[in-house]
Amino acid sequence: MHGVGVDLVEIDEVRDSIQAFGERYLGRVFTPAERNECGASPARLAERFAAKEAILKALQVDGAVPLAAIHTHARGRGDLTVRLAGAAADLAVRRGVRRIGVSVSRGRGHATAVAITEPI
Amino acid sequence: MAFGYDSEIRTVLRDHARLPVDVETLGDDADLFAAGMSSHASVNVMLALEDAFDIEFPDAMLKRSSFESISAIGAILSELRAAA
């Protein structure tokens, strides 16, 4: 069965978190590659945060999964590829997930993402 | 019960949880996510708790249930401080 997850993030919240917690926030949430792709853009980082939360919902997370264990990579316009590590990869195995598709978008003030899991 | 950390936890929640309600109106066991705390705000709460209590949340505690209520946060803080 396919799993579906969706998430919505306020871009200003990401901007505020960067200002309040700086490197600690960025390092706990995003991978170095994601930070390299998104630069200092709160809007792009908000898309990635929304993607990670949508993926966790699609995987029906029931335990501890650090957000940085979910690696997203820009593939095209609004399209991300996903690689899972550690606890996130273990969860995908337990759920029988072969692949995850993610689409992101943003408008005035918010970023959103939808994730769909493909079963083995 | 928040293991004696009730006041400090409520201060962190007031400053970082972006709750649409006054945190003082919430009981210790009230569901913070149901009260309006977003997943993103819970990350801020975690980081602010680390600052306030001079601790670091290990990966194994980075789950929704750790931050779902004042009582749950108090239990985690108690465990982390006892291990320090």
Of all residues in chain B, the percent with pLDDT exceeding 70 is 96
Q: Do B63 and A65 touch (CB under 8 A)?
A: yes
Q: If you search the block for the tokens 């993926």, which residue do you land on? A: A55
Mutation target among A15, A17, A55 for the B interface, most CBs of B within 10 A? A17
Q: What is the pLDDT of residue A113?
A: 97
C-alpha dist (Å) from residue B25 to B10, B18, B32: 11, 14, 12
Q: If you search the block for the tokens 């919240």, which residue do you land on? A: A13
Buried-exposed string B22-56: b where 16+ CB fall within 10 A, e elsewhere: ebeebebeeebeebebbbbbbbbbbbbbbebbebe
Mean model confidence pLDDT for chain B: 93
Q: Do A13 and B62 touch (CB under 8 A)?
A: no
Mutation target among B16, B18, B39 for the A interface, most CBs of A within 10 A? B39
Q: With bands split at pLDDT 50, 70 and 90, how would you rate the model's confidence at B81?
A: confident
- Return d(Cα A64, Cα A48) in angstroms, integer: 19
- Return d(Cα B27, Cα B23) in angstroms, integer: 9
Q: What pTM does this model have? A: 0.94
Q: With bands split at pLDDT 50, 70 and 90, how would you rate the model's confidence at B2?
A: low
Q: What is the pLDDT of residue A119?
A: 92
Q: With bands split at pLDDT 50, 70 and 90, how would you rate the model's confidence at B62?
A: very high
Q: With bands split at pLDDT 50, 70 and 90, how would you rate the model's confidence at B83?
A: confident
* DSSP per-residue codes, B11-63: HHHHHHS--SS-GGGS-TTS-TTTTT--HHHHHHHHHHHHHHHT----GGG-S
Quick one: which of B32, B58, B39 has its CA closest to B76? B58
- Return d(Cα A89, Cα B27) in angstroms, integer: 36
DSSP A118: E
Is ipTM over 0.90? yes
* Three-class SS state of B64: helix
Neighbouring C-beta atoms of residue A96, cutoff 10 Å: 12
Residue A111 pairs in a beta bridge with: A9, A106
DSSP A40: T
Q: What is the pLDDT of residue B4?
A: 81
- Residue B1 confidence (pLDDT) above 60: no
Dihedral (Cα; A5, A19, B48, A68), 10-degree rounding: 40
Spell out, as residue ranges, where chain A has pLDDT lower than 50. none
* Residue A100 tokens, joined: 């995850």
- Residue B58 confidence (pLDDT) above 60: yes
